[in-house]
Amino acid sequence: MKTWERIAYREMCGGCGKLLQRDDPVLATTINGLRRKLLRCAECAGPAPPDLPVLGPRQNFTKPMQALKRAIPKDYTNRMLGERE
Ligand SMILES: [Zn+2]
């Protein structure tokens, strides 16, 4: 199955080897039974549809990590040691 999509991470075009950046349109060919997609850039596979939605800027992953840090008590190592006694 062939679908036009925008890539989320840096990938190489399987046709010309061009390094594609986030949000570049690619023609993704999926083969039954294989998870990996074959990617072709717009120059190899023809012009991408103009109405292809843009992914936009990458989400900030530091915020969830800070929330996780707050959830772990600062003395968790002491608590862990204490529990083993
Ligand atoms: Zn290409």
Query: What is the domain extent for residue 14?
Result: 2-49+60-84
Q: Is 54 within the bounds of a domain?
A: no
Q: How many domains does the chain have?
A: 1
Q: Is 71 within the bounds of a domain?
A: yes
Q: Is 69 within the bounds of a domain?
A: yes
- pTM here is 0.63
**Per-residue 3-state assignment (H helix, E strand, C coil) for 7-23:** CCCCEECCCCCCEECCC
Instruction: Give, for all 85 residues of the chain, the pLDDT tens digit.
Output: 899 999 998 999 999 999 999 999 999 999 888 888 899 999 999 999 989 988 877 766 667 667 777 777 777 777 777 765 5
Q: Is 55 within the bounds of a domain?
A: no
Q: How far is the CA of 33 from the centre of ligand 1 (A)?
A: 24
Q: Is 17 within the bounds of a domain?
A: yes
Q: How far is the CA of 27 from the centre of ligand 1 (A)?
A: 10
Q: Is 70 within the bounds of a domain?
A: yes
- The pLDDT of residue 83: 62
Q: Is 28 within the bounds of a domain?
A: yes
Q: Is 80 within the bounds of a domain?
A: yes
Q: CB within 8 A of 28, min separation 6: which ones?
A: 2, 3, 4, 5, 37, 38, 39
Q: How far is the CA of 38 from the centre of ligand 1 (A)?
A: 11
